[in-house]
């Protein structure tokens, strides 16, 4: 997921350059930037904690996902299409928070079946995030 977020950031930074070249509407640009900034921050936080085996830190990361979902949800976005992406990213982060907590719970209870099920759910969330990234980048780069 951290790799996906890094790709997103790279694509989004490229989009920023494209905006100045193509002269996108400032309001659309600034709204894209708000979403990108939050996404960039959670990607950095995820990357910093990616290799941890400390359950306490993993649960703190779940809290960070939850807080990021709320921050994303509370953005003031007027562009209808960007609102869809905003809601989608908030759902992804909330889903990651919930799945992280469920995975820790399954590990602590040694419930392998639940742990595997949670891993599948995380993969599904990752696919949704990839789709959001791709679609939002196309939209933000458009005229």
For residue 139, pLDDT beyond 90: yes
Q: Are 97 and 65 in contact (CB under 8 A)?
A: yes
For residue 25, pLDDT beyond 90: no
Which pLDDT band, with edges at 50, 70 and 90, does 15 fall under? very low
Q: What percent of the chain has pLDDT over 70?
A: 81
For residue 7, pLDDT beyond 80: no
Q: What is the predicted pLDDT for the residue at 112? A: 94
Which pLDDT band, with edges at 50, 70 and 90, does 143 fall under? low
Q: Quote the pTM value.
A: 0.77
For residue 17, pLDDT beyond 90: no
**Token pair for 23:** 């002269």
Q: How far apart are CA 35 and CA 92, in angstroms?
A: 13
SS3 49: helix
Q: What is the predicted pLDDT for the residue at 6? A: 42
Q: What is the predicted pLDDT for the residue at 142? A: 79
**Token pair for 143:** 């005229």
Q: How far apart are CA 83 and CA 128, in angstroms?
A: 16
Q: Are 75 and 86 in contact (CB under 8 A)?
A: yes
DSSP state of 25: -
pLDDT of 59-117, one tens digit each?
999 999 999 999 999 999 999 999 999 999 999 999 999 999 999 999 999 999 999 99
Q: What is the number of other CB atoms lying within 10 angstroms of the CB of residue 53?
A: 6
């Amino acid at each position: 997921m951290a790799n996906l977020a890094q790709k997103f950031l790279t694509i989004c930074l490229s989009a920023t350059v494209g905006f100045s070249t193509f002269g996108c509407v400032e309001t659309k640009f600034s709204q894209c930037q708000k979403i990108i900034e939050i996404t960039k921050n959670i990607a950095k936080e995820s990357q910093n904690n990616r290799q941890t085996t400390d359950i306490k830190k993993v649960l703190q990361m779940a809290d960070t996902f939850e807080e990021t979902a709320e921050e994303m949800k509370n953005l003031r976005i007027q562009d209808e299409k960007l609102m869809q992406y905003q809601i989608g990213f908030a759902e992804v982060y909330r889903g990651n928070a919930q799945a992280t907590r469920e995975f820790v719970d399954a590990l602590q209870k040694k419930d392998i079946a639940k742990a595997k099920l949670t891993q599948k759910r995380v993969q599904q969330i990752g696919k949704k995030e990839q789709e959001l990234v791709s679609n939002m980048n196309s939209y933000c780069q458009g005229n």
